[in-house]
Amino acid sequence: MSIKNKIKVGIVGASGYTGGELLRLLVHHEGVEIVFAYSTTNNGKLVSDVYTDLIDEINIEFTNTIKESDVIFLSQGHGKSYDFLLTSSINQKTKIIDLSQDFRLEKSITIGNNKRKFTYGLPELQKNLIKSSKNIANPGCFATALQLALLPSINSNIINGEIHSNAITGSTGAGIIPSNTTHYSWRNNNVSSYKEFNHQHLHEIKYSFNKKSKQNYNLNLITVRGSFSRGIFCTSYFNCESDMNTIKNIYKQYYHDHPFVIISENEINLKQVVNTNKCMLHLTLINGKLLITSIIDNLIKGASGQAIQNMNLMFGLKETEGLRLKSSIF
């Protein structure tokens, strides 16, 4: 692909965790050119001075100016994307991929006489719709791990009764701004639960479930803070009358055209997916209960990698372009 045909990319909120991951992934993406990295806190600084792992990889400065782009990633805190779109002069032809939760229930925003309608950007749910969309609401990290574990079962109607899930996440899931529960002396060698049965990602999960089934499933979710930096390890179980061969065939058939979801015959561990765009699943049937383990990197498949996966689909590129990544197992 020649330079003149490359997709011109801008990143707003480029100095946060997900913004940094977007820069790291896009700098080696052969189909794009990064035209600006927007950050009010680091305006004028070299990107490689802030992200020192990118020394000799990228030679641009952070800016507080929006430049003409084919696509802009909004990588700001929740609630900020809506205001940013209202107050910024962005060409209506520019595609938007929002990593916040502002538009995840496929909401729209009207700016002057123009309306932007957002599509929920989980490729394993609605890949073809993403391909034809101009505005994408990128899924949340917990929502991604849970939906990829449960969507085939929802779609095939093999769930009996309630769903019970437990998901533990690394400290980067809380964002780059320090808080009482993210600083080292509190987080190290510590575990705690939070937002029990009431996590904000439940709204988008149930919204997606309703696209696959008319049945109203009750999902009991416990989210947990882990003593590690990145990744989500999620276990879900429910009563199931299907046999194991039927279950495996359901999952293999559902994911046959989705390159980043891997079904493992062996038990899985979190390091297998850290620093990758993969979601790995393991299925176990015990005494009439189906146990599904799902693991992702919260910053990649749970955020920036999935956003780039959506970009690839929107612009007709190979879905895996720039995302063939290997975990660091040790």
CA distance 303 to 181: 21
Query: What letter represents residue 246's amino acid?
Result: T
257 alpha carbon, distance to own chain's centre: 19
pTM for this prediction: 0.94
In the prediction, which pLDDT does 1 show? Answer: 44
In the prediction, which pLDDT does 5 show? Answer: 84
Q: 66 and 145 share a domain?
A: no
CA distance 90 to 112: 12
User: Which residues sit opposite 134 in a β-bridge?
Assistant: none
Q: 228 and 276 share a domain?
A: yes
In the prediction, which pLDDT does 4 show? Answer: 56
The residue range of the domain holding 164 is 141-298
In the prediction, which pLDDT does 114 show? Answer: 85
Tally the domains of the chain. Answer: 2
Q: 161 and 215 share a domain?
A: yes
Q: 177 and 251 share a domain?
A: yes
328 belongs to a structural domain: no
Contact 247, 189 (CB under 8 A): no
C-alpha distance across the termini of the chain, in Å: 35
Local confidence pLDDT in tens for the 330 residues of the chain: 444 589 999 999 999 899 999 999 999 999 999 999 999 999 999 999 999 999 999 999 999 999 999 999 999 888 889 999 998 989 999 999 999 999 998 888 887 778 999 999 999 999 999 999 999 999 999 999 999 999 999 999 999 999 999 999 998 877 777 777 877 888 889 999 999 999 889 999 999 999 999 899 999 999 999 999 899 999 999 999 999 999 999 999 999 999 999 999 999 999 999 999 999 999 999 999 999 999 999 999 999 999 999 999 999 999 999 999 999 877
Q: 179 and 134 share a domain?
A: no
92: left (phi over 0), alpha (psi -120 to 50) or beta: alpha
In the prediction, which pLDDT does 78 show? Answer: 80
Q: What is the DSSP letter of 140?
A: P
Tally of CB atoms within 10 A around 165: 24
88 belongs to a structural domain: yes
Q: Is 141 a catalytic residue?
A: yes
In the prediction, which pLDDT does 211 show? Answer: 92
Q: 91 and 191 share a domain?
A: no
Among residues 141, 234, 240, 279, which one is catalytic?
Answer: 141
CA distance 240 to 96: 40
Tally of CB atoms within 10 A around 268: 18
For residue 169 the two structure tokens come to 């996440």
Q: In what order do the strands lie in the sheet with 219-225?
A: 192-194, 219-225, 160-169, 232-239, 289-296, 279-286, 261-264
